[in-house]
């Protein structure tokens, strides 16, 4: 037993966002750096925003077996701050007596940077660089300090894919964005039914260079998932189009869509913003069960305070969008009341 424990202690516990390429690539980069060979599920916490507190509680139960914890691409939102009874108590429990680093680009993490640092957490935050890029830069720096100046082109490319995908706009079509879109199809398919095993397999395949070929196209064993997404997504996008409703609040046109969990989180919401950019200013994408985190985006140059609005709902984000969670499923019988609640909140923040 003791021997197993001492081996385990050398590996970090990785807590990273589970719902987009940045979070998955951030995990793969950490796994590569620490030569985490086996895909041991105990070493991995996959964070969905609608289950963020549960994810960090699970991390706290595992934490005794680790002396190092990494958090990647997770917004320290009000729900997470308040988890554990009093403000920061769950985070404090995780950080106590361990080395902990938090790589991120979200507003909530920046807002609480000082508090995290007081708890001994090393916060690596930048508004303009995604978590995977921050991790890649940090790894490059530590390699140089050890005078092992070996830039790894594969890792650099993965970080660039995450970066391009996370900062894409409606009009760009860079190859790295397209690769990110393909990865996102697999990630969305996995999240549709909380398939954390598939997310771990994907992270391991990215670590092992077994997901993409030398031109960074998906290898057949992974392409099959993207193909399945494509086969089913047409109907889901059509269903989303059929549900679109637009309301006027103050000077803003507010669009609502009711979306299949297959298109969680960015595929559905980004589709609405792109498809209806001439008809609305604010885009609310509400998801069907089991997804309980819902996305609100604004137009790219909008001055509407979308992140503060989301934070008032316990959620958060960065730039022109983010999400908030409800502790119940949105179903046809409560859809209208959720919509009314959001419209009144949007009205408050429009003034």
Distance CA 192, CA 197 (A): 13
Pick out residues in 55-114 that bind Mn ion (CB under 5 A). Answer: 73
d(CA 331, CA 329): 6
At its nearest, how many Å lie between Mn ion and the CB of residue 106?
8
Nearest approach, Cβ of residue 7 and Mn ion (Å): 30
Please, what is the minimum distance in Å from the beta carbon of residue 338 to Mn ion?
24
Nearer to Mn ion (CB atom), residue 50 or residue 73: 73
Q: How far apart are the C-alpha atoms of 309 and 88, rounded to whole Å?
A: 21
Q: Rounded distance, CA 242 to CA 239, Å?
A: 5
Q: How many residues bind Mn ion (CB under 5 A)?
A: 5
Cβ-based nearer residue to Mn ion, 20 or 43: 20
Give the footprint of Mn ion on residues 253-292 (CB under 5 A). none
- Which of these segments, 11-19, 59-67, 95-103, 114-122, binds Mn ion (CB under 5 A)? 11-19
Mention every residue, 6+ apart, whose C-beta is less than 8 A from residue 166.
20, 21, 22, 105, 130, 180
Q: How far is the CB of 22 from Mn ion (least distance, A)?
A: 4
φ, ψ (nearest 5 deg) of residue 36: -80, 95
By residue count, the chain amounts to 351
Residue 22 lies near Mn ion (rule: CB under 5 A) = yes
Question: Segment near Mn ion (CB under 5 A), from 21-29, 216-224, 252-260, 307-315?
Answer: 21-29
Please identify which residue in 11, 17, 79, 266 interacts with Mn ion, judged by CB under 5 A. 17
Nearest to 155 by CA among 171, 140, 167: 140
Query: Residue 103 or residue 256: which is nearer to Mn ion going by CB?
Result: 103
CB 28 within 8 A of CB 55: no
Does 23 bind Mn ion (CB under 5 A)? Our answer is: yes
Give the nearer residue to Mn ion in terms of CB position, either 249 or 263. 263
* Secondary structure (DSSP) of 280-345: -SEEEEEE-TT--EEEEEE-TT--S-HHHHHHHTT-EEETTEEEEE-SS---HHHHHHHHHHHHHH
Separation of CA 234 from chain center: 24
Sketch the per residue contact string, 191 through 220, with Mn ion: x for CB under 5 A, - otherwise.
------------------------------
Query: Considering beta carbons, is residue 49 or 258 the nearer one to Mn ion?
Result: 49
**Minimum separation from the CB atom of position 86 to Mn ion (A):** 27
Quick one: 76 or 346, whose CB is closer to Mn ion? 76
**Which token pair is 171?**
């009009």
Q: Cβ-count burial of 80 within 10 angstroms (0-12 exposed, 13-18 middle, 19+ buried)?
A: buried
- For strands 68-72 and 99-104, give the pairing: parallel
Nearer of residues 22 and 184 to Mn ion, judged by Cβ:
22
Question: Judged by CB under 5 A, which of 20, 50, 104, 192 binds Mn ion?
Answer: 20
163 vs 275 by CB, closer to Mn ion: 163
Could you give the CA distance from residue 202 to residue 191 in angstroms, rounded to a whole number?
Answer: 12
Q: Does 136 bind Mn ion (CB under 5 A)?
A: no
Minimum Å distance from CB 108 to Mn ion? Answer: 13
Site residues (CB under 5 A) for Mn ion?
17, 20, 22-23, 73
């Amino acid at each position: 037993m003791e021997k197993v424990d001492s081996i385990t202690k050398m590996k970090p516990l990785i807590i990273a966002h589970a719902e987009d390429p940045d979070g998955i690539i951030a995990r793969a980069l950490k796994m590569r750096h620490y030569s985490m060979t086996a895909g041991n599920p105990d070493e991995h916490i996959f964070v969905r925003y609608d289950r963020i507190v549960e994810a960090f509680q699970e991390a706290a139960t595992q934490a005794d077996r680790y002396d190092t914890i990494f958090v990647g691409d997770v917004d320290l939102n009000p729900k997470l701050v308040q988890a554990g009874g009093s403000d920061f108590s769950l985070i404090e429990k995780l950080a106590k007596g361990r080395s902990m680093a938090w790589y991120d680009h979200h507003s909530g993490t920046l807002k609480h940077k000082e508090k995290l640092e007081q708890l001994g957490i090393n916060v690596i935050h930048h508004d303009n660089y995604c978590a995977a890029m921050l991790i890649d830069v940090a790894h490059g720096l530590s390699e140089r300090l050890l005078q092992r100046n070996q830039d790894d082109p594969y890792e650099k490319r993965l970080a660039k894919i995450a970066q391009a995908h996370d900062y894409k706009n409606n009009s760009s079509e860079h190859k790295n964005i397209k690769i990110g879109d393909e990865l996102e199809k697999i990630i969305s398919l996995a999240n549709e039914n909380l398939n954390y095993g598939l997310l771990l397999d994907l992270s391991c395949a990215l670590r092992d260079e077994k997901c993409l070929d030398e031109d960074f196209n998906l290898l057949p064993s992974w392409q099959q998932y993207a193909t399945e997404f494509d086969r089913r997504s047409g109907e889901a996008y059509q269903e989303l189009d059929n549900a679109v409703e637009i309301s006027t609040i103050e000077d803003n046109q507010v669009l609502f869509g009711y979306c299949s969990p297959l298109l969680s989180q960015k595929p559905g919401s980004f589709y609405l913003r792109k498809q209806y950019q001439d008809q609305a200013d604010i885009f609310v994408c509400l998801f069907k069960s089991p997804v309980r985190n819902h996305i609100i985006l604004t137009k790219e140059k909008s001055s509407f305070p979308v992140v503060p609005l989301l934070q008032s709902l316990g959620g958060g984000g960065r730039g022109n969008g983010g999400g908030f969670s409800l502790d119940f499923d949105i179903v046809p019988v409560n859809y209208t009341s959720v919509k009314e609640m959001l419209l009144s909140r949007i009205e408050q923040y429009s003034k």
